[in-house]
Amino acid sequence: MALPRLETLAEIEAALWRELGRAPRDKHHEWRTPVLATRDGDSADARTVVLREVDEPARTLQVFTDSRSAKVAQLLAHPQGTMVMWSSRLSWQLRLRVALQVETDGLALASRWARLKLSPAAQDYLSPLAPGSVLDGSTAAAPVVHDRGHFALINVAVQSIDWLELHADGHRRASFDAAGARWLAP
Ligand SMILES: Cc1cc2nc3c(=O)[nH]c(=O)nc-3n(C[C@H](O)[C@H](O)[C@H](O)COP(=O)(O)O)c2cc1C
């Protein structure tokens, strides 16, 4: 049986943050793997990432990456991005306008790495070859300089949320940001 539709903007905002908060802890949550879009010079670029942490009160998210990846160079040049996620279970799409900041050092990074290094995923950050390196045999592999390889955090500050619900009784769309919440034409 279909769940009753949420009526108010406040209920919807609370529910979407509740769902976001579940995503990093639930491997099957569809919002665990959003698409992060960044600006690449005059073009757009986008890729799937894993949502690692969600801090609802702070309105921030966190993603792990390799500090040598193209996205890091892109967001250092243009720290604005968009994160998109869709859930068929909820019939909800979120488009988050975000400010992106990279962390390659410090306490937060060290504590995440302390946990990660015990898992096979640590290998992702220890390759001597930067992500996207052409594998033609001639690429000189840079030595790994750090015991935590090229592990980096991307701190994602959510500035606004565009929520879209697809529904047989009529689609609904709303926007949430520091100025408040409003219904939009879908
Ligand atoms: C399901 C899935 C999850 C991924 N998660 C991450 C991630 O959390 N961080 C990351 O840097 N790349 C992740 N990737 C790889 C990226 O999509 C991308 O291929 C890689 O980071 C290089 O992107 P870039 O050249 O734009 O930096 C993931 C890919 C898939 C398919």
Whether 132 is in the pocket of ligand 1, judged by its Cβ within 6 Å, is yes
Contact 98, 158 (CB under 8 A): yes
CA dist 133 and 124 (Å) reads 14
**Greater model confidence, 141 or 172:** 172
Q: What is the pLDDT of residue 182?
A: 98
Confidence of residue 91 (pLDDT cuts 50, 70, 90): very high
pTM, entire model: 0.94
Is the distance from the beta carbon of residue 68 to the nearest atom of ligand 1 less than 6 Å?
A: no
What whole-number percentage of the chain has pLDDT above 70?
94
List Cβ neighbours of 63 (8 Å cut-off, separation of 6 or more).
Answer: 36, 49, 50, 51, 52, 153, 154, 156
Q: Is 131 in the pocket of ligand 1 (CB under 6 A)?
A: yes
The C-alpha atoms of residue 53 and residue 4 are separated, in whole angstroms, by: 29
> If you measure from the C-alpha of residue 1 to the centroid of ligand 1, how many angstroms do you get, rounded to a whole number?
36
Report the alpha-carbon distance of residue 62 to residue 157 in Å, rounded. 9
- Give the residue whose CA is nearest to atom 5 of ligand 1: 49
The atom number, within ligand 1, closest to the CA of 131 reads: 22
55 forms beta bridges with: 60
Question: Given this model, what pLDDT does residue 140 score?
Answer: 65
Q: What is the pLDDT of residues 147-160, one digit of tens each?
A: 888 999 999 999 99
Q: Which helix (H) or strand (E) holds 70?
A: helix 70-77
Atom 30 (ligand 1) nearest CA: 48
Better-predicted residue by pLDDT, 136 or 115: 115
Average pLDDT over residues 59-64: 97
Nearest CA to ligand 1 atom 7: 49
Look at residue 135 in the predicted model and tell me its pLDDT.
86
